């Protein structure tokens, strides 16, 4: 309010009061929003710190456990290594993972023998060949026995690995064998003709587009691929014969890619007997204690990698927002 010369109160105008109120409310809202954003930023900062601490703690704990195991005096036991799932580069049953486990088992003086617990439909002949060759070398170097124990399936590349073992044990209903090689694909030329799609392909090198699914099959190229598959098949057969020796009762069907039950595999000399992991550890190795050497992906490292991917995506988006191109 204002005072006139006679000190009589004069009411302030309504628009002035409304204008002052609006400014104050706007300022308050801005202050509250700023405080809210600051609190949220602090919470996210604390969250990410806790996540990284958990990851680092997990990695350090696993490292400490492994160091303790390595430093401890090992008592007699059966070393177990699982070979499960697809045998392929980057998979759990890759040559890198399996052989890291195998080497650790061979290096442990307490390991009386190494058991490969196999449940795999097969996979890469390259990965299987690397595993087979290295197991053969380590057996000779350390003078330790290797046994393969089949659970559900030991087919194709998995059986390739199993032949490196001194003996193979199966369940009577296991699926064993499939000694063959395949390469699969599709051809879409007929479908393209029906829908009116024209394939336009340019290459330098007449065989560069070999087995292209959108081009007609070339007989010369097909014959070349078939000969290559035959060569790999011959390598597989040689490995089986070398590994099984005189125990193998070869028939015309042995190397045709057929798969047999565990009972049939024993009869044909593809396996040595019926037995589980516990049976082999107890009755064959004579060391009932089983120690698992299978190296699996570290949970903390996987979480760190996934978190790193998400952070990288955020940085990329932020960079794109300010006109920076990442190439």
CA distances from 273 to 79, 141, 265, 285 (A): 20, 26, 9, 14
- Residues β-bridged to residue 120: 154
With a CB cutoff of 8 Å and minimum separation 6, the contacts of 168 are 147, 148, 149, 150, 154, 162, 265, 270, 271, 272
Q: Which SS3 state, helix, strand or coil, does residue 169 take?
A: strand
CA distances from 230 to 73, 161, 227, 236, 270 (A): 49, 19, 5, 10, 21
Q: Are 213 and 185 in contact (CB under 8 A)?
A: yes
Q: Are 95 and 131 in contact (CB under 8 A)?
A: yes
User: Could you tell me whether strands 111-120 and 77-84 are parallel, antiparallel, or unpaired per DSSP bridges?
Assistant: parallel
Reported in sequence order, the residue ranges of 191-321 that DSSP labels E, i.e. its strands, are 259-261, 273-274, 290-292
Residues 259 and 165: their CA atoms lie apart, in Å, by: 19
pLDDT at 6: 45
Residues 175 and 265: their CA atoms lie apart, in Å, by: 9
Q: Are 166 and 146 in contact (CB under 8 A)?
A: yes
Q: What is the DSSP letter of 284?
A: I
pLDDT at 66: 58
Structure tokens of 120?
A: 């795999």
Residues 71 and 105: their CA atoms lie apart, in Å, by: 14
Q: Which SS3 state, helix, strand or coil, does residue 271 take?
A: coil
Q: In degrees to the nearest 10, what's the CA dihedral of 252, 255, 259, 260?
A: 50
Q: In order along the chain (327 residues), what is the average pLDDT of each group of 10 residues? A: 47 52 75 78 79 78 58 78 95 95 95 97 96 97 97 97 98 96 76 71 79 78 90 96 96 96 97 97 96 78 49 44 33
pLDDT at 306: 47
pLDDT at 300: 52
**For the CA atoms of the chain, what is the radius of gyration?**
34
Report pTM: 0.70
Residues 39 and 32: their CA atoms lie apart, in Å, by: 11
Reported in sequence order, the residue ranges of the chain that DSSP labels E, i.e. its strands, are 2-3, 9-10, 77-84, 111-120, 145-155, 167-170, 175-177, 259-261, 273-274, 290-292
Residues 17 and 205: their CA atoms lie apart, in Å, by: 85
pLDDT at 303: 52
Please classify residue 159 by burial: count the beta carbons closer than 10 Å to its beta carbon, then call 0-12 exposed, 13-18 middle and 19+ buried: buried
Helices 125-142, 219-244: axis angle to 10 degrees equals 20
């Amino acid at each position: 309010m204002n005072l006139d010369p006679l000190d009589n109160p004069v009411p302030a105008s309504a628009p002035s009061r409304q204008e002052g109120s609006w400014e104050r409310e706007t300022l308050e809202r801005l202050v509250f929003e700023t405080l809210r954003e600051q609190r949220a930023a602090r919470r996210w900062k604390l969250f990410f710190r806790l996540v990284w601490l958990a990851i680092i703690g997990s990695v350090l704990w696993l490292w400490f456990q492994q160091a303790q195991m390595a430093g401890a005096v090992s008592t007699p036991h059966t070393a177990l290594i699982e070979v499960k799932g697809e045998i392929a580069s980057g998979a759990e049953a890759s040559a890198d993972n399996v052989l890291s486990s195998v080497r650790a088992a061979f290096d442990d003086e307490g390991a009386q023998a190494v058991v490969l617990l196999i449940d795999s439909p097969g996979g890469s002949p390259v990965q299987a060949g690397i595993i087979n060759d290295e197991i053969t070398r380590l057996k000779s170097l350390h003078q330790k026995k290797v046994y393969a124990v089949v659970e559900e399936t030991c087919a194709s590349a998995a059986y390739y690995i199993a032949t490196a073992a001194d003996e193979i044990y199966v369940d009577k209903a296991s699926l064993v064998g499939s000694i063959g090689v395949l390469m699969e694909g599709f051809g879409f030329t007929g479908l393209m003709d029906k829908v009116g799609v024209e394939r336009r392909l340019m290459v330098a090198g007449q065989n560069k587009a070999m087995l292209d699914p959108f081009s007609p099959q070339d007989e010369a190229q097909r014959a070349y691929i078939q000969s290559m598959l035959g060569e790999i098949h011959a390598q597989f057969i040689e490995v089986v014969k070398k590994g099984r020796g005189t125990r193998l009762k070869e028939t015309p069907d042995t190397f045709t890619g057929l798969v047999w039950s565990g009972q049939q595999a024993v009869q044909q000399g593809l396996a040595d007997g019926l037995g589980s992991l516990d049976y082999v550890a107890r009755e064959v190795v004579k060391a009932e204690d089983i120690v698992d050497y299978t190296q699996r992906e570290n949970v903390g490292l996987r979480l760190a990698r996934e978190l790193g991917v998400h952070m990288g995506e955020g940085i990329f988006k932020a960079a794109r927002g300010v006109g920076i191109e990442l190439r």
